[in-house]
Structure 1
Amino acid sequence: MYKTLINRCCKTLISFFYGLVLAQTSVAQVNQYQTENFLNSVKMNDVKAVKKALSDGISPNSMDAQGNSALAIAITEKSLDVVKILVDTPSIDLERPNLAGETPIMMMAYTDMYDLLVYLVDKRDVEINKPGWTALHYAATNGHMRVATYLLDKHAYIDALSPNGTTPLMMAARGGHIHVVKLLLDRGADLSKRNAMKMTAIEFAEQNNQSEIAIGLKSRWSKVYGKPYVN
């Protein structure tokens, strides 16, 4: 009798926990489906669908399988209307990096989303001087003069060092962005900086066939340091 009772209790408990697991699995599947739909709406710049998803409780910080947040996806896909919605959502994390360590403001600097970048800095107090790669590096990489000028006006570290010691000046020289190179030098960038590979901005220019910039930097080196440049 006792064995029968125990067996019944065990079966009841097993059934209960099995049902609980199924319920949790079902909820997880529903949540995943909702998240995927939300992120697809972000990609498509579907303002109506994004607003509805947010009002239904979807987190604006939802991420895809690659670790990209909804905001990062919107920036990458140039879904500008959705970007504007997301940055004003109260619970949004504006500092969250993707798996590559890129924050939204860095991505905006890279893609020249000037107005949105200014809004994040001026109105949302987003950090522009995080350690490692910075928004100024990214603006210099693609030669975005307005963004670089604005960041410098907001006291971006002009000689910010990436993890391997690369500066914004090196990235501007590498890309052949002569106007940004001049801007950085005029604002006080250190031409003598070397990265972990012992390369200066001059080597960056030379190795990427930016001969005009390399010649100009060597001339400036002679004037600043009173001697010719030697690798």
Structure 2
Amino acid sequence: MLNLIIYFNKVLKYVVLYTFISFLFPATAGSYEDFFKAIRNDEVKVVSNLLTRGFDPNTVSLNAEPAILLCLIHDSLKTFELIAKHPKTQLNVRNAHSETALMLVSLRGYTQLAKLLVSRQADINHTGWTPLHYAATGGHVEIIQLLLDESAYIDAESPNGSTPLMMAARYGNAKSVQLLLNEGADFEVKNQLGLTALDFAIQGKRPEAIKLLETAMKLANSDSNRTK
């Protein structure tokens, strides 16, 4: 409830701000409208012209959505790339669900955009859900590998303790599970509900993931017995 109140207060603030700007600076208000209309229609030339004239790429919409994230809502990928490359863009801004641009492109499998954000030093590791969780959920192995190569924490824990391997086991695919296992993901760790990656795979009815995880467990037990 508190988060909802904060969100609506933020929306109200920008509505008041826009009304104030419209009254004092009608030309700026027009640019504001043009900017977000261009984002919705993926009109990259219009956005480019506005940015060249000094329009702030971090401007938020009337519903408090940051411009770079609004591009993804409307699948305006050319405009997203333009804004992501702008030196003043705040790449780690979050939406109402605490998601960043890198998290969202990782979930959708936009590999080139993920590479762009990583090259511009977008945050890879942070508390809570991470880009690696999202890439694993989507089963996007190229992005998973990209994030791991950039030192993404492989056993990062979500707010309830779920790891990327758990998400891959239930929602991703066999390739994403295999990659995470190959890279050393902990298949024995449990989340706050006491569930392991194997439990996630079983709940999701993912036979390939189940087989991979059971094989990993057998190999680990075999190695453990040999060292005794």
CA 1:72–1:191 in structure 2 vs 1: closer, same or farther (change >3 Å)?
Answer: same
**Unaligned segments of structure 1, at least 5 residues:** 1-21
Aligned residue number for residue 204 of structure 1: 200
Moved >3 Å (runs of 4+): 22-25, 28-34
Q: Identity of paired residues, percent? A: 35
Aligned residue number for residue 49 of structure 1: 46
Contact between 1:206 and 1:214, CA under 8 Å: does it hold in 2? yes
Residue 222 (str. 1) matches residue 228 (str. 2): no
Which TM-score applies when normalising by structure 2?
A: 0.81
Which TM-score applies when normalising by structure 1?
A: 0.80
Following TM superposition, by how much is the alpha carbon of 1:212 offset from its aligned partner in structure 2, in angstroms?
A: 3.0
Q: In the aligned structure 2, how far is the partner of 1:84 from the partner of 1:216?
A: 37
Structure with bigger gyration radius? 1
Map 1:1-231 onto structure 2 (within 5 A): 26-27=23-24, 34-122=31-119, 124-225=120-221
Q: Counterpart amino acid of 1:140?
A: A
Aligned residue number for residue 17 of structure 1: none
Q: Counterpart amino acid of 1:193?
A: V
Contact between 2:136 and 2:172, CA under 8 Å: does it hold in 1? no
Please give the root-mean-square deviation of Cα atoms over the aligned residues, in Å: 2.3
Spell out, residue by residue over 1:12-47, the C-alpha distance to the aligned partner (whole angstroms, 9 max, x if none): xxxxxxxxxx97661377755543431121121101
Following TM superposition, by how much is the alpha carbon of 1:161 offset from its aligned partner in structure 2, in angstroms?
A: 0.6
Q: In the aligned structure 1, how far is the partner of 2:21 from the partner of 2:212?
A: 65
Following TM superposition, by how much is the alpha carbon of 1:164 offset from its aligned partner in structure 2, in angstroms?
A: 0.9
**Unaligned segments of structure 2, at least 5 residues:** 1-18
User: How many residues of Structure 1 are paired with residues of Structure 2 in the alignment?
Assistant: 205
Spell out, residue by residue over 1:169-188, the C-alpha distance to the aligned partner (whole angstroms, 9 max, x if none): 00100114100000000100
Following TM superposition, by how much is the alpha carbon of 1:118 offset from its aligned partner in structure 2, in angstroms?
A: 1.3
